[in-house]
């Protein structure tokens, strides 16, 4: 089945540690996104990538890093510089650039990060 | 800048009654509008979208939405609510005037919790 796979679903981290969240898609989509969800704040865009080897900062990129070495993969690293990393993280993808604006996002099931 | 407002944090409705979840938007060009649904600890699922054409858009699970340009609204509706519709609903917008230079971003509202009771 085509879709987006995020792992791990739950992750615990000690303060000062970097963690990497995995996101893989087999939908052949060009664009991929990372969102952060906090209660009552909706979804906020962290980073996005419209093509391999290129990515852009979103609205809350500080303390995060990404890479896009393969079309299928868009891992997110939450660094120790992120002041409040406890949140629900959602990865999404959408169809290629020419039809991109009208295409809906397809989401993974999310990864819940808790900092101890 | 593009923005979306969902003025109600929670909507309560009895099963079998019609439901409406409100959404208003602000863009400089023409809007591309979307509704998504989220069940607890899950990702978002796409319900429907308005790109152009008919103002009434039909989507998944019996949901529909009405685009109203003069009121800059895109309210989600369903004629008869089910208990299983209880979830968190998000409205989202893209501005077609801001699609270049990395502007292909979707802005989400803060979400409306729908509670359908027997």
pLDDT over 80 (residue A75): yes
Under an 8 A CB cutoff, do B108 and A104 touch? Answer: no
**Predicted pLDDT of residue A47:** 95
Of the candidates B84, B83, B66, B72, which has an alpha carbon nearest to the alpha carbon of residue B21? B66
The answer to whether the Cβ–Cβ distance between B41 and A112 falls below 8 Å is yes
Interface A-B: count of C-beta contacts within 8 A = 61
Distances (CA, A) of B106 to B48, B91, B114, B117: 14, 10, 22, 32
Burial status of residue B54 (CB atoms within 10 A of its CB: 0-12, 13-18, 19 or more):
exposed
Q: Nearest CA to A87 among A64, A66, A58, A55? A: A64
Indicate the residue of A41, A88, A101 with minimum beta-carbon distance to B110.
Answer: A41
For B67-104, the pLDDT digits (tens) are 999 999 999 999 999 999 999 999 999 887 665 544 46
Question: Least CB-CB distance to A101: which of B96, B110, B111?
Answer: B96
Secondary element (H or E) of residue A114: strand A111-115
B56-58/B64-68 β-pairing:
antiparallel
Q: For residues A79 and A19, give the distance between their C-alpha atoms in angstroms, rounded to a whole number.
A: 7
- Determine the residue among B6, B57, B92, B106 to mutate to test chain A binding: the one whose Cβ has the most chain A Cβ atoms within 10 Å: B106
- Per-residue pLDDT band for A97 (boundaries 50, 70, 90) equals low
The answer to whether residue B1 scores a pLDDT higher than 80 is no
Contact A45 B105 (CB under 8 A): yes
Collect all residues of chain B within an 8 Å Cβ-Cβ radius of residue A43. Answer: 44, 90, 108
Q: Report how far apart, in Å, the C-alpha atoms of A25 and of each of A75, B1, B41, B61 are.
A: 11, 30, 20, 25
What proportion of chain A, given as a percentage, has pLDDT over 70?
A: 94
Which chain B residue's Cα is nearest to A4?
A: B43
Contacting residues of B for A6, CB less than 8 Å apart: 43
pLDDT per position as a tens digit, A18-68 = 999 999 999 999 899 999 999 888 899 999 998 899 999 999 999 999 999
Predicted confidence (pLDDT) at residue A84 exceeds the cutoff of 70: yes
Q: In 3D, which of A8, A20, A112 has the Cα closest to residue A65?
A: A20
Q: Do B44 and A105 touch (CB under 8 A)?
A: yes
More confident residue, B106 or A107: A107
Most confident of A70-74, A94-98, A99-103, B51-55: A70-74
Q: pLDDT tens, B24-44? A: 999 988 899 999 999 998 999
Mean pLDDT of A80-93: 93
């Amino acid at each position: 089945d085509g879709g987006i796979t995020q792992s791990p679903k739950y992750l615990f981290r000690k303060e000062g540690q970097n963690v990497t969240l995995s996101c893989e898609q087999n939908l052949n989509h060009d664009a991929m996104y990372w969102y952060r969800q906090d209660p009552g704040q909706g979804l906020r865009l962290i980073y996005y990538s419209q093509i391999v080897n290129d990515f852009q900062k979103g609205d809350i990129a500080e303390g995060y890093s990404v890479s896009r070495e393969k079309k299928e993969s868009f891992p997110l690293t939450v660094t120790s510089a992120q002041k409040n990393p406890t949140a629900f993280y959602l990865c999404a993808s959408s169809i290629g650039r020419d039809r991109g604006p009208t295409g809906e996002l397809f989401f993974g099931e999310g990864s819940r990060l808790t900092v101890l | 800048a593009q923005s979306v407002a969902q003025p109600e944090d929670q909507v309560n409705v009895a099963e079998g009654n019609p439901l409406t979840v409100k959404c208003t938007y602000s863009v400089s060009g023409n809007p591309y509008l979307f509704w998504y649904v989220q069940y607890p600890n899950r990702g978002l699922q796409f319900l429907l979208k308005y790109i152009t054409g008919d103002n009434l858009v039909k989507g998944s699970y019996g949901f529909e939405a009405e685009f109203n340009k003069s009121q800059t609204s895109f309210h989600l509706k369903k004629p008869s609510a089910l208990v299983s519709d209880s979830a968190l609903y998000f409205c989202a917008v893209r501005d077609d005037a801001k699609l270049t230079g990395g502007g292909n971003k979707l802005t989400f509202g803060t979400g409306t919790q729908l509670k359908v009771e027997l």
